[in-house]
Chains A and B, each alone.
Chain A
Amino acid sequence: MRPEGIRAIVRDVTGAEPRDLAGAGQLEEGARVVAAMSGGVDSAVAAAILRGAGLDVVGVSMRLGSSSRRAEGHAGCCSLDDFEDARRTAVRLDVPHYVVDLRDLFQEKVIDVFVSTYLSGRTPNPCVLCNRDIKFDALWEWAETAEAVAIGTGHYARIRTSSEGFALHAGADPAKDQSYFLFTLTQSELARTLFPVGGLAKPQVRALAEALELPVAQKPESQDICFVAGTTYAEFVEKNAPAARRRPGVLRATDGRDLGRHEGVHRFTVGQRRGLGGGAEEPRYVTAIDAESATVTVGGRGDLDRSAFLVQDARWTSAPRPGPARVRLRHRHAPVGCTLHPSGATTRVELDAPAAGVTPGQAAVWYDGDRVLGGGWIADR
């Protein structure tokens, strides 16, 4: 397709100019942009908008899974079928398309960390790591060598300029917002990143894919963490870690009672209700995990509530900003009021009201309205 044709359709469906949607205001017409194409509909439409914006779009698919065969369980994304979908989309858009092999790095930076985090009794967030170390680092290295000035992805988030530089905002569609997964982006990374579908609602993205006759218009959403598709997290960890690294131990009640044994701390997440045995008069939850002693503590609903916690390896999109904010404790969690106390790489978060779901290992991301201020990793108690 020619850029003019795409521009007309984008205007027609969304009422907006592709250049504005892409946030490409500062880029020259014809500047080269790498469009990360997973084979899904969001990244396909993002690539189309970039092309409609008059940019020199180079489509790239990342090979991340250790297997190239669907039969081996990489149903989530990055299968050969997904590359084929991305390639067909690139043909439809008339842009070049390449596949970049990042499997070794993905194994090291994402999968190995996922496994060892579970083994250490915490709950990992691989999507944040994949964005930080793969898409906006390794893929950028590729893009820069291939003479691109920016990367565009299909994330639902927005980048705006403010007095403090670039600001990361939630996507316009609250049901699809992915800003939580992007809190690590630095000023220089935001400066070279475009989120063309961030200002759109999912139904508009689908409608655009239909109107542009993209081959992936009808493709279903990908669910869950891509590399564990088709299995449970516990099974995945067990398949990828030697038995010697597992920490079987004791289930203990908050009052110290011994409730039996468990097969490994990696099978538990703080806040988890399932798999704790029945028989109790009121629901029981995992309230703490101590990998050192392999003790999983079990308590009632009220034992989950926390009023303050520490965040490690905290990153700020602009300068650290102590004071009131709202914090999101996991993807799709409605942010709650808090006060931030930054101190070097650590930030203490005091919640306005005690809340459940403060899970060690997960990302805590703080917002001012829909603007991401920063975030980090929830520390052990």
Chain B
Amino acid sequence: MFLDHNAGGRVRPEVAERLSELLRSPLANPSSLHAAGRRTRALVEEARESVAELVGAHASEVVFTSGGTEANNLAILGAAAEAAHLVSTSIEHASVLRALEGAEAAGATVSILSPGSDGAVAAGEIVAAIRGETALVSIGWVNGEIGVIQPIGEIVRGVRAASNRVRVHADAVQAIGLLDVDVAAADLDLASLSGHKIGAPAGVGALVLRRGTTLRPLLHGGPHERERRSGTENVLGIVGFGLAARLARTERAAFRERAAAIKTKIGKALAASARPAVRLDPADAVPGTLSVSFPDLRGDALAAALDLRGVAVSTGSACAAGAPEPSHVLRALGCSEEVARGTIRLSFGPELSLEDAEQAARIIVEVVGAARARRQGESGAGRAA
């Protein structure tokens, strides 16, 4: 039972099939002048169309990258001049926060705003932080840990009213699988996307760069991606991303409904247990994410116990070192140490059935109950020497 979709979902079977077929076909470098090159180029451009359509962009606005991290770095380090002022929030993904630190080290100044305790970023606060030299506002559309949806449209309107020189970037990685993301309607300048959150293999993403937005590339080399991202295209990843985007576009509404049903089911099951979990999801959150806390237990140990019983969850965002860090998001929202420590994040993708979700909820209730019983037995027996 896979309830860790926000860390990266499974490759969709349709994508897997298409890619294994493609692996055996004569692909070439899409920049090559021969027929094989042209055929490969056509595949890349077809995928670009599909990705653009998923988010309401024009194909020429899509720059393929190695993933969401590179897209965020490119948006922040590539879009802002060195002495610029940048505005963002304390609950962003590490690839945004660390890139902002990089920009700061290169001479930029950065304002980090704190959201309210419900995780929502107030458009007014963003606008108030804008100064004459502000070049970029970067906001996560959907937070990966607690699922809160930010009022992107309202934020952009506020920024536009305050200044016509400020660009707005949205990290839309956690949004595109569930929300009807439309970068044109939202009037965004930049948006980061990632393939493996919608069923493509990891290693591909995109930065949507609305027309008229210029960029300093991070990687230098050949004139790929209209001189915005050098390096021979990751054709397999891009094709997978394109197909996943097409599937997501047609199935998104239905999945949203099912995710909501799953979230309701799991929420009910956890609320019915002896000591209900503390729900950390705000009212305005995507249906695919449910963060809950058992403040009397260790969330990392619960996640391990669940893993060993075949239920994959996480304690927050996955970290390359494998050591769960205390969540900067929960701390920024003012959670107590106990609540942050006892948190597990459940997140679901289209492959999770309602039955499996119910089964997972039963196992969570059981594991939590057993852990509490053991810890109580322990203190009852007394540990003093």
Contacts and interface: CB of A to CB of B under 8 A. Distances in A.
A147 B385 contact: no
Contacts of A99: 321-324
A223 B180 CA distance: 58
A315 interface: yes
Contacts of B324: 99, 101
B384 A101 contact: no
Contacts of B300: 98, 100-101, 142
Interface stretch (B45-53, B285-293, B367-375): B367-375
A29 B321 CA distance: 32
A213 interface: no
B325 interface: yes
A141 B301 contact: yes
A145 B298 contact: yes
A145 B308 contact: no
Contacts, number: 73
Contacts of B374: 144-145
DSSP class of B's interface residues: helix, strand, loop or mixed?
helix
B91 interface: no
Main secondary structure on A side of the interface with B: mixed
> Which of A58, A99, A145, A147 has the largest number of chain B CB atoms within 10 A?
A145
B378 interface: yes
Contacts of B367: 147
Nearest to A315: B385
B323 A101 contact: yes
Nearest to B297: A145
Contacts of A68: 321, 323
B98 to A, nearest CB: 14
B302 interface: yes
A87 B320 CA distance: 13
B326 interface: yes
A195 to B, nearest CB: 19
A2 B30 CA distance: 47
Nearest to A139: B301
Interface of A: 32, 58, 63, 68, 80, 83, 87, 96, 98-101, 104, 141-147, 184, 186-189, 315-317
13 contacts: A32-B308, A98-B304, A99-B324, A100-B301, A142-B304, A144-B301, A145-B301, A145-B302, A145-B374, A147-B305, A184-B385, A186-B385, A315-B385
Given A83-B322, A98-B322, A101-B300, 19 more contacts: A32-B308, A63-B323, A68-B323, A96-B304, A99-B323, A100-B300, A142-B298, A144-B301, A144-B371, A144-B378, A145-B298, A145-B302, A145-B375, A147-B305, A147-B367, A184-B385, A186-B385, A187-B385, A188-B381
